[in-house]
């Protein structure tokens, strides 16, 4: 636990000193959202009906884009190696990265979701539900995107393979996050919330085990 | 202090070592000398527990490297050939993070004093990305000045150093040796450090090591 806190504080320092990660995430998010809004047109009814799928697709691609920097910077400057020979286990290294990436995307989305909801004409109560959906699904998405970043270190020549390997795991999370019927008033206690939490309970241990193996593999 | 017993190592389907053994005693300095690709870094990575040999064992102070775990940082200090410095942080911030990860408590005045040794005090507030290769190397090597461990593993520590820093480095090695420390370091050229046992690693000659010359140990 002490080691995890040490690594977490290191990662947080990197995150706040190096604002490039949060900025690139937020910029990508806003730009793609605006592009979608312009391509759909000014009809607010259509815009609001497409809001949840558009939001989750953008979150997914932004995560894949930024997750690589959380891993590659440490890999390129040798810090990933250094952490290992200082005795930090692969699980702790990976878990600290999950926690920091989660903190960064939750913090930025708590600002970005209300902003984009306003442009898409989403009601306040619905925006709260969407935020809860995002908070429930983002831990699994973060775990998987960090795994895909580690895969990309292994497969340096063909990054396309990283998507083929990891993409199928994103699909169920995206399906259950976007198919939640938030528009129906009677169905507020949606079972999809529990399913998303269940996915997190599966993806967390799975990604920690795989993450540990992949981190070890980076030394070879 | 360090025992490498009959290791067999394959990397990328190539045999790097076959039945390689090495024993490093207390107060001993061993220089691994060899051309690029001879296996110097692979050997140091294996000793640091980053790479698992196919057979054979590595013991430090009688304990298997796999058993050491989180107490690795107290057992040995490894400076790999990469800088292991975060580019967007200053020299001082990088050292502070390293000190924190090593669970050391060192006051800033002491850090300042130690930075004077490699003449880094004037650049302590500069971002690492603005430093030259040699300056980065000196920052990496200055980590040794804060280390409490008796065993030092150094991969190509002389790369990029000017003659003056080269002499400072030699003095640091000899001082560590006088303090009951042991050092295993690699270089592709012979730095001509007195009282150093040399092991030549040769490429393609059946991967066996050849002990070339021994200097006398009577003048320490």
Mean pLDDT value across chain B: 81
Kindly report the nearest CA distance between residue A136 and chain B, in angstroms: 32
Confidence of residue A55 (pLDDT cuts 50, 70, 90): confident
Sign of CA dihedral A211, A98, A62, A136: positive
Of A90, A8, A150, A74, the residue nearest B84 (C-alpha): A74
| Phi, psi values for residue B77, rounded to 5° | -120, 125
The stretch A179-192 carries a mean pLDDT of: 62
Mean pLDDT value across chain A: 82
pLDDT at B214: 38
pLDDT at B219: 37
A positions 76-115 inside 8 Å of B (CB): 77-79, 81-89
What's the CATH number of domain B2-83+149-211, 3.30.70.260, 3.40.47.10, 3.40.50.300, 3.40.50.2020?
A: 3.40.50.300
CB A17 within 8 A of CB B89: yes
Q: Would you list the domain boundaries of chain B?
A: 2-83+149-211
Closest partner residue to A13 (CB to CB) among B49, B82, B97 is B97
CB B22 within 8 A of CB B53: no
| A13/B84 Cβ within 8 A | no
Higher-pLDDT residue of B136, A122: B136
With 80 as the cut, is the pLDDT of residue B204 above it?
A: no
| B68/A9 Cβ within 8 A | no
ipTM summary value: 0.79
pLDDT at A162: 64
Q: Is B73 at the interface with chain A, CB within 8 A?
A: yes
**pLDDT (tens digit per residue) in B108-121:** 888 888 888 888 88
**pLDDT (tens digit per residue) in A83-92:** 888 888 888 9
**pLDDT (tens digit per residue) in A131-147:** 888 898 899 999 988 88
With 60 as the cut, is the pLDDT of residue B177 above it?
A: yes
Confidence of residue A187 (pLDDT cuts 50, 70, 90): low
Q: Percent of chain A having pLDDT more than 90? A: 6
CB A173 within 8 A of CB A199: yes
**pLDDT (tens digit per residue) in B30-72:** 888 877 777 888 888 888 888 888 888 888 888 887 777 767 7
Using a CB-CB distance cutoff of 8 angstroms, which residues of chain B are in contact with residue A88? 70, 101
Query: Facing residues of B153 across strands?
Result: B78, B184
Confidence of residue A201 (pLDDT cuts 50, 70, 90): very high
The stretch B128-140 carries a mean pLDDT of: 90
Note the pTM of the prediction, 2 decimals.
0.83
Confidence of residue A169 (pLDDT cuts 50, 70, 90): confident
**pLDDT (tens digit per residue) in A6-27:** 888 888 888 887 777 778 778 8
pLDDT at A159: 61
CB B65 within 8 A of CB B31: no
With 50 as the cut, is the pLDDT of residue B27 above it?
A: yes
Tell me the two tokens of residue B107: 């006051």
With 60 as the cut, is the pLDDT of residue B205 above it?
A: no
CB A196 within 8 A of CB A131: no
The stretch B9-16 carries a mean pLDDT of: 79
Using a CB-CB distance cutoff of 8 angstroms, which residues of chain A are in contact with residue B80? 78, 81-82, 85
Q: Percent of chain B having pLDDT more than 90? A: 4
| Phi, psi values for residue A103, rounded to 5° | -60, -45
Cα B163 to Cα A95: distance, rounded to the nearest angstrom: 43
Distance of CA A190 to the CA centre of its chain: 22
Confidence of residue A3 (pLDDT cuts 50, 70, 90): confident
pLDDT at A99: 92
Alpha carbon of A148 to those of A145, A168, A169, A207, A208: distances in Å? 5, 11, 10, 10, 12
Confidence of residue A217 (pLDDT cuts 50, 70, 90): confident
């Amino acid at each position: 636990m002490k080691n995890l806190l040490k690594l977490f504080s290191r990662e947080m320092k990197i995150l706040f000193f190096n604002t490039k990660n949060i900025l690139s995430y937020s910029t990508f998010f806003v730009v793609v959202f605006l592009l979608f809004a312009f391509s759909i047109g000014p009809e607010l009814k259509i815009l609001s009906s497409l809001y949840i799928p558009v939001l989750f697709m953008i979150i997914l691609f932004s995560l894949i884009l930024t997750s690589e920097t959380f891993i590659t910077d440490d890999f390129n400057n040798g810090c990933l190696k250094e952490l290992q020979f200082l005795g930090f286990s692969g699980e702790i290294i990976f878990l600290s990265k999950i926690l920091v990436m989660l903190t960064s995307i939750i913090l930025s989305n708590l600002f970005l979701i209300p902003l984009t909801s306003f442009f898409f004409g989403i009601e306040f109560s619905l925006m709260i539900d969407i935020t809860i959906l995002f908070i429930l699904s983002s831990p699994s998405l973060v775990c998987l995107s960090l795994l895909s970043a580690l895969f990309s270190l292994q497969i340096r020549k063909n990054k396309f393979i990283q998507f083929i390997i990891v993409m199928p795991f994103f699909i169920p999370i995206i399906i259950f996050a976007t198919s939640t019927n938030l528009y129906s008033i009677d169905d507020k206690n949606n079972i999809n919330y529990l399913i998303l939490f269940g996915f997190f309970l599966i993806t967390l241990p799975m990604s920690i085990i795989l993450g540990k193996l992949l981190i070890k593999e980076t030394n070879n | 202090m360090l025992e490498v017993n009959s290791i067999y190592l394959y990397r990328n389907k190539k045999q790097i070592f076959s039945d390689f053994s090495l024993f490093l005693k207390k107060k001993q300095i061993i220089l691994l000398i060899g051309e690029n690709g001879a296996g110097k870094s692979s050997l140091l990575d294996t000793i640091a527990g980053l790479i698992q040999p196919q057979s054979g064992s590595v013991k430090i102070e009688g304990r298997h490297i796999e058993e050491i775990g989180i107490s690795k940082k107290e057992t040995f200090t490894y400076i790999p050939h990469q800088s292991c410095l975060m580019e967007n942080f200053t020299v001082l911030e990088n050292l502070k993070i390293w000190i924190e990860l090593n669970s050391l408590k060192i006051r800033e005045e002491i850090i300042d004093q130690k930075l004077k040794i490699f003449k880094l005090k004037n650049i302590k507030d500069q971002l690492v990305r603005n430093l030259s290769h040699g300056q980065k190397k000196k920052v990496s090597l200055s980590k040794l000045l804060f280390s409490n461990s008796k065993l030092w593993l150094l991969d190509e520590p002389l790369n990029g150093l000017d003659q003056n820093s080269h002499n400072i480095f030699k003095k640091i090695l000899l001082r560590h040796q006088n303090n009951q420390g042991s050092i295993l370091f690699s270089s592709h050229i012979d730095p001509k450090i007195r009282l150093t046992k040399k092991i030549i690693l040769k490429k393609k000659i059946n991967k066996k090591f050849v002990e070339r010359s021994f200097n006398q140990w009577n003048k320490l």
